[in-house]
Structure formats: C-alpha cells, structure tokens
C-alpha cells in the first residue's frame, strides 16, 4: 500500500513539475512576436505604370452625310486603301444638278450680254474718237476762216477788194462756226452713248458676278451630295449600303456616318491611366505594348500625348461634364505610338501598355510590403516594467505632433524590432527604392501582413523564415 502511494505521489510531483516548467517557458516567451524578415539589397529597379485600352490610328476621320438622300453609289469597300480626293459615296442629286445647270446657263447669258456691251462700248469709243477728230477739224477750219475774214475785212475797208469777196469770206466764217457747233453736238452725243454703253457693261459684269456666285453656291450644294476622301488611308468602317437613306446630323445617330477613313501610317495604343499614376507619366517615355489578339509578342512604343482632362471611369465622360464625379474613380487618356506595328493590326483591338516612368541602377531596395505607417506618439518608449504611462493632458499642438504619421520599416536589432523612418523613391513591381534611413544588409521585417500592421516599436521578435507547409486536402 505504501508503495502504491509513493508511486502516485511521484507521478503527481512529475506532473506538477512539467506544468511548472511549461508555464515558465511560456512566461519567458510572453510578448515575443514571430516575424519574417528580409535584407536591404541593391538591385536595378524600374518603375512601371500599367494601363489598358485599345489600338487606334493616330489620325482618323468619320465621313458623315452632308445632305439627306438615298445612297446611289459606294465605289469603295471596307479595308480598301483610298487616296485623298477619291470619291467615296454618291447621294441621289437630281435637283441640285438641275440647279447647277440652270445657274450655269444664266451665267452664259450674262457673259453674252457682257460681250455685247463690251463691243458696243468699243464702238462708242471709236465713234467718240471720230467725233473728237471732227471737232478738231472744225476748229481748224473755223480758225482759218476767221483769219481769212479778218484780212478781207481790212482789205474791204481799204477799198482794195470788192464787197462780194468780203461777203464770201464772212459766209465762209459763219459756215465754219456752224460746222464746229454741229461737230461739238455730235461729240456730246457720242459721249452720252459711250456712258450708256459703259453703264450697260457694268450692269452685265455685275450680273456675271452674281451668276458666278449662284453657280458656286449651287455647285457647293451639289458637292455635298458626294463624299470624298480627306486623306490617304484605309476604310476601317463602312456601316451603310447602297439604297439606304442618309441624313446629316450628330455623329452618333444612325445614318449620319457613311464610313471611317484611318491613316494607318501611325498606329497608337490609347490607354486610360489611373489618376494616382498620371503624375509619373511624361512625354517620350518608353512603353511595352501587348495586344490581346497577338499573344506572346510585345511591341515597343513611346508616349506622344497625355490628356489634361479627367475621365470618369464609370461613364467615360469628362469630369467637367458631370456634377457627380467628385467621389468616383477617374482616369486620364495617354496615347502611346507603336514604333513598329505589325501588318495585321486592326483598330479597336484591346491592348495593355506598360509605361516605364523611371529607372534606377544598383540602388537600395526593400520589399514594398515592409513599409508601414506609425503615428509619432505610438513610437514613444514606455517606462521599464511595461506599465503604460499615466495619461497627460496635452495641448492641441502637442497632440497634433503625436498624431503625425511617419513612414518606415521595422529593423531587427538585438532580438527586437526597432521602427526606423525611411524616405523612398521610385516603386517597382515588388520592391521600392530607399533614399535614406537604411543601409545595405539591414535585416527588416517583411511579414506577415498582420504582424507589420500590429507590431509595436522595440517588441521582442523571433525570426521564422521557413516556407509555410502546404497541406493537401
């Protein structure tokens, strides 16, 4: 019996001792946080901005209907190359063609009248010259007759000639005066006729100008019943057929767009970049473009346009066109020109562009997940013994200073995790550049995510970098 009790007592002592040892071990490990760590290392780092969009030609024009009518001819096909000025489509134009012919006939009539008036003016000019010559001749005759009359008068008074000679000389002078008056009257009539012919010519020329303006107007109206290629390119969209009725109007209405002509000499990827990344995108930055329809190939390009207007992601409208966009996600349009686009590329293909916004060679880097934010007050060291300091009423400035947020990482030093403020540079896919605060080889806490969020400054840690064991289910 005694032996049995001794065994029971020994077992009880052994159990109590084990419990005490286990409790001691657990107490000694109280407050120790298990963490995963990594090292600050140097490497080449590239910052990328990834955005999706679609392939578009740099320059394309929607050919709209400028007149209402039935399509009578479409001499091109979708995918066909066209030249600038080439006829693309015809709309039924019987009435405008008749108007043009009528105006051209009116112009021809006005031009004939002008030619007749011009001939009459020329005849009037010739007649005017003849009448002027007659006046000049009559004046000369009058002058001669006057001199002859004066000499005859002197001779008659001197009784050197008979009165008959004197009367003949006087009659000759009077006849010369009458001839001059007649010639001057004919000259005045010729001038009036010339003025009339000149007025008729002016009226004819005015009618010609009006007729030409009407022909131009009618021809312009007729021209709008035909569509011509505004540039060299490819017909990328042809939504209508011969016999359909087209109408002028807004581009998005059915029947207003006849076709689309695209200049395929410069192909671009038009992508939408998130508003948080757009500040990093600059002109001429290089980009790698992948096209969903052409897998396993990457095309080089460069940025040629950066939009200045925010686009609401949910509606695709400019933020300035809506009053409810302040709380919605926004994008900005960025255009990337492809350096060597493939021959079989088509507008509208979905694509993704990775724009290189910055590169660093052999720079200090840390994993992005190691970065965390702490308030300045949370980093203050507690008194020894672990007791929380008694709350002290702080003035607003001091309280604001305590709530200041600091970016940093936890560095392993002496078995503890010490928070260290860092300044960062560019961000890569998984790593971020460290500008100051760390040196190469420093061991930092990189996981887990929950630990990085909750760990306190100078907490005791245990490093466990073993990969988690996968459990087959």
Q: Is this model's pTM higher than 0.85 or not?
A: no
pLDDT attached to residue 206: 87
Mean pLDDT of 216-241: 88
Q: How far apart are the C-alpha atoms of 449 and 467, rounded to whole Å?
A: 15
| Three-class DSSP labels, 308-371 | CCCEECCCCCEHHHCCCCCCCCEEEEEEEEECCCCCCCCCCCEEEEEEEEEEEEEEEEEEHHHC
Q: Where are the domains of the chain?
A: 48-58+267-360, 95-223
Q: For 46-79, what is each residue's pLDDT tens digit?
A: 999 999 999 999 888 888 888 888 899 999 998 8
Residue 473 DSSP SS3: coil
- Based on C-alpha coordinates, what's the Rg of the chain? 52
Q: For 410-460, what is each residue's pLDDT tens digit?
A: 999 988 999 999 999 999 889 999 999 999 999 999 988 898 998 998 899
Give 316's contacts (C-beta < 8 A, 6+ positions apart). none
- Residue 192 pLDDT > 90: no
The better pLDDT of the pair 142, 37 is held by: 37
Q: For 382-406, what is each residue's pLDDT tens digit?
A: 555 555 555 555 578 778 888 888 9
- Residue 186 pLDDT > 70: yes
The domain 95-223 having CATH identifier 1.10.287.620: the answer here is yes
Please report which helix (H) or strand (E) contains residue 66, including its range: none
Q: How far apart are the C-alpha atoms of 57 and 387, rounded to whole Å?
A: 69
Q: Which residue has the tokens 């002016």?
A: 202
User: Which CA distances in Å does 20 have to 7, 30, 192, 312, 366?
Assistant: 20, 15, 142, 65, 43
pLDDT attached to residue 220: 86
Q: Which residue has the tokens 């019943």?
A: 225
Model confidence band, residue 43 (pLDDT cutoffs 50, 70, 90): very high
pLDDT attached to residue 407: 93
CATH number for the segment(s) 48-58+267-360: 2.40.30.170
pLDDT attached to residue 398: 78
pLDDT attached to residue 202: 83
- Residue 409 pLDDT > 60: yes
Q: For 309-357, what is each residue's pLDDT tens digit?
A: 888 888 878 877 766 656 788 899 999 999 999 888 888 899 999 999 9
The two tokens of residue 337 are 């020109």
């Amino acid at each position: 019996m005694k032996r049995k009790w001794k065994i029971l007592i020994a077992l009880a002592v052994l159990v109590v001792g084990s419990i005490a040892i286990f409790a001691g071990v657990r107490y000694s490990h109280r407050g120790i946080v298990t963490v995963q760590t990594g090292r600050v290392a140097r490497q080449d780092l590239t910052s990328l901005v990834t955005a999706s969009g679609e392939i578009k030609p740099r320059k394309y024009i929607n050919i709209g209907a400028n007149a209402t009518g039935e399509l009578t001819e479409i001499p091109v096909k979708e995918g066909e190359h066209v030249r600038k000025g080439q006829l693309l489509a015809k709309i039924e134009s019987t009435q405008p063609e008749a108007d043009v012919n009528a105006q051209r006939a009116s112009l021809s009539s006005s031009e004939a009248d002008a030619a007749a008036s011009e001939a009459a003016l020329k005849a009037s000019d010739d007649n005017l010259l003849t009448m002027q010559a007659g006046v000049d001749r009559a004046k000369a005759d009058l002058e001669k007759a006057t001199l002859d009359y004066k000499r005859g008068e002197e001779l008659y008074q001197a009784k050197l000639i008979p009165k008959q000679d004197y009367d003949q000389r006087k009659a000759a002078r009077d006849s010369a005066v009458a001839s001059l008056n007649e010639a001057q009257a004919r000259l005045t009539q010729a001038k009036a006729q010339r003025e009339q012919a000149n007025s008729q010519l002016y009226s004819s020329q005015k009618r010609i100008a009006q007729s030409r303006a009407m022909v131009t107007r009618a021809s312009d109206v007729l021209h709008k019943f035909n569509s011509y290629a505004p540039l060299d390119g490819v017909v990328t969209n042809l939504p209508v057929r011969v016999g359909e009725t087209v109408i002028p109007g807004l581009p998005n209405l059915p029947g207003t767009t006849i076709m689309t002509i695209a200049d395929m000499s410069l192909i671009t990827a038009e992508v939408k970049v998130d508003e948080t990344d757009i500040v990093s995108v600059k002109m001429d930055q290089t980009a790698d473009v992948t096209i969903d329809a052409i897998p396993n190939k990457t095309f080089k390009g460069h940025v040629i346009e950066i939009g200045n207007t925010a686009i609401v992601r949910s509606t695709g409208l400019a933020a300035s066109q809506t009053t409810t966009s302040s709380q919605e996600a926004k994008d900005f349009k960025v255009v990337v020109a492809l350096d060597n686009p493939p021959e079989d590329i088509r507008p509208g293909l979905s694509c993704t562009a990775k724009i290189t916004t910055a590169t660093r060679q052999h720079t200090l880097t840390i994993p992005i997940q190691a970065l965390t934010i702490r308030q300045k007050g949370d980093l203050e060291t507690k008194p020894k013994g672990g007791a929380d300091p008694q709350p002290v009423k702080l003035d607003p400035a001091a309280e604001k200073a305590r709530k200041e947020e600091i970016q940093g990482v936890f560095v392993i030093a002496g078995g503890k995790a010490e928070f260290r403020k860092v300044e960062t540079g560019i961000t890569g896919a998984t790593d971020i550049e460290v500008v100051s605060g760390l040196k190469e080889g420093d061991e930092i806490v990189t996981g887990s995510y929950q630990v990085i969020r909750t760990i306190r400054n100078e907490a005791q840690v245990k490093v466990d970098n073993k990969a988690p064991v996968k459990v087959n289910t």
